[in-house]
Amino acid sequence: MPFEILEKQELVPTIYLMKISAPRVAKKAQPGQFVILRINEKGERIPLTIADFDREEGTITMIFQTVGKTTAHLASLRAGDELLNFIGPLGNPAHIQKEGTVVLVGGGVGVAPIFPQTRAFYEAGNRVISIIGARSANLLLWEDRMRAVSHELYITTDDGTKGHHGFVTDIVKRLLEDGVNIDRVVAIGPPVMMRAVAGVTRPFNVKTIVSLNSIMVDGTGMCGACRVLVGNETKFACVDGSEFDAHLVDFTLLMNRLAVYQPEEKIALERYKCEREGCLC
Amino acid sequence: MLGRQKMPEQDPAVRKSNFNEVALGFTEEQAVKEAKRCLQCKKPSCMKGCPVEVKIPAFLDRVAKGDFDSAIKEIKVDNALPAICGRVCPQETQCEQACVLSKKGASVSIGRLERFLADYERKRGAEIPTLPKPTGKKVAVVGSGPAGLTAAADLAKMGHSVTIFEALHEAGGVLIYGIPEFRLPKDIVSAEVEYVKKLGVNVLLDSVIGKIDTVDELLSEFDAVFLGTGAGLPAFLNIDGENLNGVYSANEFLTRVNLMKSYKFPEYDTPVKKGKRVVVVGGGNVAMDSARCALRLGAEEVTIVYRRGEEEMPARAEEIEHAREEGIKFRLLTNPVRIVGDGKNWVTHIECINMHLCEPDESGRCKPAPTPGTEHMIEADVVVIAVGTSPNPLVPRTTKGLEVSKHGTVIAKEDGATTKEGVYAGGDAVTGSATVISAMGAGKKAARAIDAYLKGK
């Protein structure tokens, strides 16, 4: 049952939007959930967070960054092409209710999964403060979309080309130190960034939720590839998460486990480039 | 008495570096000779040993006469998946154990003959039986493992409209992700699934029930539901170091190797760590499969660590024998206490302790106990934990009124009826991890019960 790509755009360099026709998945999708896809017969299964969904249109939108072979291959596909497998919605929906003031933090490509949650928190009647960051202004994602569902929006860039010169954590820290009454922080982005946010909010005892992006194979709880340590207990991110209490997560272990296949990932990407561009070696 | 025909096999020295099937199957001449050994008992005890009630003497008689076409038809009345059963059933504890010849010598090789016939038929293209008039009733089968495939095939042959919902991208359950190619070639599993489809069964892949639809939602569209969701949740040892890089559950390791074909990386995209020194923890078939896969990925040394003795190993004798021939080392009465890593979080050793068996307890089992002071290290750069699985809680958690035991297994009567009306279950989802053939037996019984339920509806 192939799944048609209805739309593909390069949003900013290396970050792509892809809209897939998948009516059965769209019918059930909730913010915070993810899908697993496989491009073709020889492909691997990769998890991608659902960035948006449209039940009437029967579509799922994902945002991804090209980091290796499969995402590079995905980025080379066009509207009208098909994916062989598209499984979801997986994982637990994000816990969204009226909390009061919620700070949503999205780093890099993490702005995409934070968006549907931001919108949901906004619609649930919360005061929404959003902080989005990127390495550089040209890599900043979805500023307009995020602004539309936020009461306050802060922008940070590592190189100072837009907004605050520095990291998203600088803003989180400033808000807390200024005495802003924050009921909940939700952070999605690279593990280093999520760990840093957890480190900032911990002394202030502000409930902080992160979404863990560990390595997955099946995504249904049958293998434990995605296992993480939370409060010293082993959890499977695909079925117990992917949301967890940031103050209980062992981020060092997460980062170590994310690096398991680095040599193989490099081989696969180089081989893919050789096939497409002709080998220089 | 004529001896058993010996089945040709790949040489251990050759096969340990390829994923091709180890056992090569009988020739036609061998099959006829072997079938002639059957005494055609008036009261055949062999049939009692078969969970799906194949009429063994009847099909053996036809093989003995060289009539392979009608022999395979005879099997298929009761068993939709003979190419699989002939390969992975533990016949030595089932039909063959019950064969009268086994009292004085070797039983008839029933499994190997079943396999021979299925392979013979597949080469020629399987014939589809005439199906009865459609009943107009619809049944949803959750899971496409041996239980689900059998239930679906039988229900289709009873005239019901059947749809299988499978979470993974390929049908077959453990037959496709768990049992390796060298024991059960995947094109054989695909051919058996195709046969079930030709009976009119609709197979929906990529469909995780509990997420994309709940069982309650299925019940609004279908007249009955069969749960054949298996026991796919891996158990870990809960010891220090289990989350180190290089430590796998057997499910992950085997899924990468078998389903995702990572032994062909980078032709296929899914990677797997190829260890030099691999330790597999456990003594079942899954442990044997993991160890033999690791060897074929190029490991220099593969060691199985098991806390009881060889007598107590749950793996099939034939598989233990095959593993030994290929050079797998066994450390029996040995149990891991922790897994040790280097500064970069990679596994380097597994620390074990010697065990001894005490007197059997009331249940008749010998509980192994550690011998203090015998701790020792075994070098390992990949560790595979194969100490069992339990049912995945996704379906019970999302189904109102479906009761489960404290072990997470679905509570079901002998015929598969659960605590929820119209919902039946069978296989590992009910028993916890067991055998392919017992799952098929459960699927068969449940199909009968569902048929009766639908007629009364």
Domain ranges within chain A, ordered by starting residue: 3-90, 101-258
Whether residues B212 and A70 touch (CB distance < 8 A) is answered with no
> Can you read off the two tokens belonging to residue A114?
């934070």
Q: B173 touching A, CB under 8 A?
A: no
Q: Which of B211, B229, B238 to mutate to test the interface with A (most CBs of A within 10 A)?
A: B211
Section B318-344 average pLDDT: 96
B354 DSSP β-pair partners: B334
Q: How far apart are CA B279 and CA B380, in angstroms?
A: 6
Q: What are phi and psi of B107, to 5 degrees?
A: -65, 170
Whether residues A265 and B271 touch (CB distance < 8 A) is answered with yes
Cβ–Cβ pairs < 8 A, chains A and B: 111
Q: A22 touching B, CB under 8 A?
A: no
Whether residues A222 and B232 touch (CB distance < 8 A) is answered with yes
pLDDT for res A32: 94
Which residues 212-271 on chain A approach chain B with CB closer than 8 angstroms? 217-218, 220-225, 227, 229, 234, 239, 253, 256-257, 259-261, 264-265, 267-268, 271
Q: Give pTM, 2 decimals.
A: 0.95
> Can you read off the two tokens belonging to residue A72?
């590079």
With CA atoms as reference, report the closest residue to B19 among B172, B169, B186.
Answer: B186
- Chain B residue at shortest CA distance from A250: B243
pLDDT for res A1: 61
Spatial CB neighbours of B213, under 8 Å, sequence gap ≥ 6: A24, A28, B165, B207
| B129-151: pLDDT as tens digits | 889 999 999 999 999 999 999 99
Residue B121 has pLDDT above 70, yes or no: yes
> Can you read off the two tokens belonging to residue B237?
């040892």
Which residues 97-136 on chain B approach chain A with CB closer than 8 angstroms? none
Annotated binding residues of A for FAD, as ranges?
Answer: 63-65
The full 3-state SS of A33-45, as one line of letters, equals CEEEEECCCCCCC
pLDDT for res A89: 97
- The domain A3-90 is placed in CATH, from the list 1.10.1670.10, 3.40.50.2000, 2.40.30.10, 2.40.30.30, at 2.40.30.10
Q: B206 touching A, CB under 8 A?
A: yes
Q: What are phi and psi of B162, to 5 degrees?
A: -120, 135
Section B376-394 average pLDDT: 96
A-chain residues near B205 (CB < 8 A): 1, 85
Whether residues A221 and B394 touch (CB distance < 8 A) is answered with yes
User: CA of A193, closest CA in chain B: separation in Å?
Assistant: 21
The answer to whether residues B270 and B293 touch, using CB atoms and an 8 Å cutoff, is no
pLDDT for res B380: 98
Within 10 angstroms of residue B7's Cβ, the number of other Cβ atoms is 18
Q: pLDDT digit of tens for each residue in chain A (281 aa)?
A: 689 999 999 999 999 999 999 999 999 999 999 999 999 999 999 999 999 999 999 999 999 999 999 999 999 999 999 999 999 999 999 999 999 999 999 999 999 999 999 999 999 999 999 999 999 999 999 999 999 999 999 999 999 999 999 999 999 999 999 999 999 999 999 999 999 999 999 999 999 999 999 999 999 999 999 999 999 999 999 999 999 999 999 999 999 999 999 999 999 999 998 888 776 55
Q: How far apart are CA B378 and CA A254, in angstroms?
A: 26
- Among A69, A223, A239, select the one facing B251 at the smallest CB separation: A223
- Among A43, A86, A257, select the one facing B206 at the smallest CB separation: A86
ipTM above 0.90, yes or no: yes
Whether residues A217 and B205 touch (CB distance < 8 A) is answered with no
Q: How far apart are CA B303 and CA A41, in angstroms?
A: 33
Question: Rounded to 5 degrees, what angle do the CA atoms B120, B122, B125 make?
Answer: 115
Distance from the first to the final alpha carbon of chain A: 39
What's the CATH code, domain A101-258? 3.40.50.80
Q: How far apart are CA B210 and CA B399, in angstroms?
A: 8
Q: How far apart are CA A98 and CA A210, in angstroms?
A: 18
Section B355-359 average pLDDT: 85
Query: Which residue's structure tokens are 């790949």?
Result: B10
With CA atoms as reference, report the closest residue to A260 among B252, B66, B231.
Answer: B252
Within 10 angstroms of residue B258's Cβ, the number of other Cβ atoms is 25
The answer to whether residues B191 and B122 touch, using CB atoms and an 8 Å cutoff, is yes
A-chain residues near B256 (CB < 8 A): 217
- Position B51 confidence tier, pLDDT thresholds 50, 70, 90: confident
Q: B401 touching A, CB under 8 A?
A: no
Burial class, B252, CB count within 10 angstroms (exposed 0-12 / middle 13-18 / buried 19+): buried
A-chain residues near B236 (CB < 8 A): 224, 234
Pairing state between β B247-249 and A227-230: unpaired
Annotated binding residues of A, as ranges?
Answer: 63-65, 223, 226, 238
Q: Which of A1, A28, A38, A223 to mutate to test the interface with B (most CBs of B within 10 A)?
A: A223
Whether residues A224 and B271 touch (CB distance < 8 A) is answered with no
Whether residues B265 and A268 touch (CB distance < 8 A) is answered with yes
Annotated binding residues of A for [2Fe-2S] cluster, as ranges?
Answer: 223, 226, 238
- Burial code of A195-218, b = ≥16 C-beta within 10 A, e = fewer? bbbbbbbeeeebebbbbbbbbbbb
Q: Which strand (E) or helix (H) includes residue B397?
A: helix B394-397
The answer to whether residues A176 and A198 touch, using CB atoms and an 8 Å cutoff, is no
A232: left (phi > 0), else alpha (psi -120 to 50), else beta?
Answer: left
Whether residues B267 and A42 touch (CB distance < 8 A) is answered with yes
pLDDT for res B54: 93
Q: How far apart are CA A30 and CA A94, in angstroms?
A: 8
- Position B126 confidence tier, pLDDT thresholds 50, 70, 90: confident
Residue B1 has pLDDT above 70, yes or no: no
The answer to whether residues B292 and B323 touch, using CB atoms and an 8 Å cutoff, is yes
**DSSP E strand boundaries for B196-295:** 202-204, 224-227, 233-234, 247-249, 277-281
Whether residues B243 and A229 touch (CB distance < 8 A) is answered with yes
Whether residues A90 and B208 touch (CB distance < 8 A) is answered with yes
Within 10 angstroms of residue B365's Cβ, the number of other Cβ atoms is 11
pLDDT for res B361: 74
Query: Which residue's structure tokens are 């307009």?
Result: A144
B309 DSSP β-pair partners: none
Q: How far apart are CA B108 and CA A132, in angstroms?
A: 72
Question: Rounded to 5 degrees, what angle do the CA atoms B143, B282, B244 make?
Answer: 90
pLDDT for res B358: 78
> Can you read off the two tokens belonging to residue A159?
């190189």
The answer to whether residues A171 and A156 touch, using CB atoms and an 8 Å cutoff, is yes
The answer to whether residues B114 and B121 touch, using CB atoms and an 8 Å cutoff, is no
Whether residues A220 and B169 touch (CB distance < 8 A) is answered with no
> Can you read off the two tokens belonging to residue A31?
């913010």
Q: How far apart are CA A223 and CA A237, in angstroms?
A: 11
With CA atoms as reference, report the closest residue to B126 among B205, B203, B204, B197.
Answer: B197
Q: What are phi and psi of B62, to 5 degrees?
A: -70, -35
Spatial CB neighbours of B298, under 8 Å, sequence gap ≥ 6: B17, B274
Q: How far apart are CA B258 and CA B269, in angstroms?
A: 13
| B211-237: pLDDT as tens digits | 999 999 999 999 999 999 999 999 999
Whether residues A85 and B270 touch (CB distance < 8 A) is answered with no
Residue B387 has pLDDT above 90, yes or no: yes
Say which range, A84-88, B265-269, B315-319, has the weakest mean pLDDT: B315-319
Whether residues A268 and B243 touch (CB distance < 8 A) is answered with no
Residue B239 has pLDDT above 70, yes or no: yes
Query: Which residue's structure tokens are 């619609």?
Result: A123
Query: Which residue's structure tokens are 């016949």?
Result: B91
Residue B11 has pLDDT above 80, yes or no: yes
Q: How far apart are CA B372 and CA B57, in angstroms?
A: 54
The amino acid at residue A192 is V
Query: Which residue's structure tokens are 């948006």?
Result: A52
- Among A86, A225, A259, select the one facing B252 at the smallest CB separation: A225
What chain B holds in terms of domains, given with CATH numbers, is 12-124 (1.10.1060.10), 138-231+391-456 (3.50.50.60), 236-387 (3.50.50.60)
A-chain residues near B168 (CB < 8 A): 218, 220
With CA atoms as reference, report the closest residue to A186 among A128, A146, A240.
Answer: A128
- Position B339 confidence tier, pLDDT thresholds 50, 70, 90: very high
Longest Cα pair distance anywhere in chain B, in angstroms? Answer: 70
pLDDT for res B127: 82
pLDDT for res B360: 76
Q: How far apart are CA B428 and CA B438, in angstroms?
A: 9
The answer to whether residues B156 and B200 touch, using CB atoms and an 8 Å cutoff, is yes
| B398-433: pLDDT as tens digits | 999 999 999 999 999 999 999 999 999 999 999 998
Q: How far apart are CA B335 and CA B379, in angstroms?
A: 14
Question: Rounded to 5 degrees, what angle do the CA atoms B171, B176, B182 make?
Answer: 150
pLDDT for res B291: 98
Taking CA atoms, A144 is separated from A107, A155, A170, B315, in Å, by 16, 12, 22, 60
A-chain residues near B245 (CB < 8 A): 256-257, 259-260
- What mean pLDDT is reported for chain B? 94
Section B429-442 average pLDDT: 92
- Fold match flag (A3-90 vs A101-258): no
The amino acid at residue B360 is P
Whether residues A25 and B251 touch (CB distance < 8 A) is answered with no
The helix/strand/coil state of B335 is strand
The helix/strand/coil state of B127 is coil
Q: Which of B269, B381, B390 to mutate to test the interface with A (most CBs of A within 10 A)?
A: B269
The answer to whether residues A111 and A135 touch, using CB atoms and an 8 Å cutoff, is no
Distance from the first to the final alpha carbon of chain B: 55
- Among A43, A224, A229, select the one facing B234 at the smallest CB separation: A224
